Chain A
Amino acid sequence: MTFNRNTLSDQLLIEKILRGDTRSFSMIIADTERLVAQIVRKMISDEEEQKDLAQDIYLKVFQKLSTFKFQSKLSTWIAQVAYNTCCNYLEKRKIPLCDFDLLHENAFVYSDDTERETFMIETNNMLQAEIEKLPPLYKMLISLYHIEELSNKEISEITNLPEGTIKSYLYRARKLLKESISKTYKNDIL
């Protein structure tokens, strides 16, 4: 986790930006870029759209900075803006957050030995590929929980979903992932 800036320094930084030192905003971007990337990249697959959304998110943050009340961590608040922006984007394009048809459509089967070998060597890549096949919300939850090591409470603050729902979605996501890997790789590993 790289989000170690405490609330006090966040406050000082925000005050500096609000006083007109817009250059300091790049420090906020540097601090939160990784978390925002986890959300945007997991929810939106098109790279050009990711670019537009990332800009959109940070411009919103910049414009709304004066309304930040320090009721949560600055990174959590920015992640919240990122999540809402992505949800709105998906909603506008009528892309469901949890589309299981998409999961089966994208499922592919490796059958020959060479591919199986590649799979064994590149477990990491394979797993990432399987995660990519999950519905956007599940992908994002898996990333925030396992890669960013955020707690259910923090994820709940970002997504505005109850902690119980987050837990249940994560269980389902892992189950889907396990099933998808077993199916794709004919039960070789899981």
Chain B
Amino acid sequence: MIQEHLSDEKIQEYILQGETDERISLHISGCVACKQKMKAYSVLIKAVNFIEPAAFTFNVSKLVMQKIGIQRKKEKTELYLFYALLSGGILVPIYFILPMIATIFKRIQSLHNTSMALIITVTLGVILFLIADIFRTQKEKELQLSL
């Protein structure tokens, strides 16, 4: 038989496990202090189990769906704007470069192999840097969202 008084943790565990531990039952039956504590915890746990769950006092679904709708609209507008700017950014230079295209080709053909390799390397480097930067920004955003 357990001689010393039971700790609060032991008593709570005993109740939560369905009061099945015989050693504890035996102690409680002969110890007024622990019996009183056990009763108090028993009442408390039973009462807590019957508490009505908390609910929001507003319509979450309506609020969130409205926000999602606005966000989607904004995203779509931003996407159209992006494509418009991208098209403009490509078409406008082409419009101006087109008359000079023959001259540019002649210049490129006249370039030395080493210069050509340098230009290709630098261009690839810049493209890779930009891709890495986009990837990094995306990761940061995901991390922020996960916090």
Q: Which A residues have a C-beta under 8 Å from some C-beta of B? A: 22-23, 25-26, 29-30, 33-34, 36-38, 40-42, 47, 50-51, 54-55, 58-60, 62-64, 67, 84, 88, 123-124, 127-128, 131, 142-143, 146-148, 168, 171, 174-175, 177-178, 181-182, 189-190
Contact = CB atoms under 8 A, between A and B. Distances in A.
Nearest to A84: B147
B61 A29 contact: yes
A171 B15 CA distance: 12
A33 B55 CA distance: 8
Given A59-B71, A178-B44, A124 B61 contact: no
Interface of B, secondary structure class, is helix
Interface string B59-83: 0110111011101100000000000
Interface stretch (B21-29, B45-53, B90-98): B45-53
Given A22-B65, A171-B13, A178-B40, 5 more contacts: A23-B65, A29-B64, A30-B61, A127-B44, A128-B52
Interface residues of B, number: 35
A146 B49 contact: yes
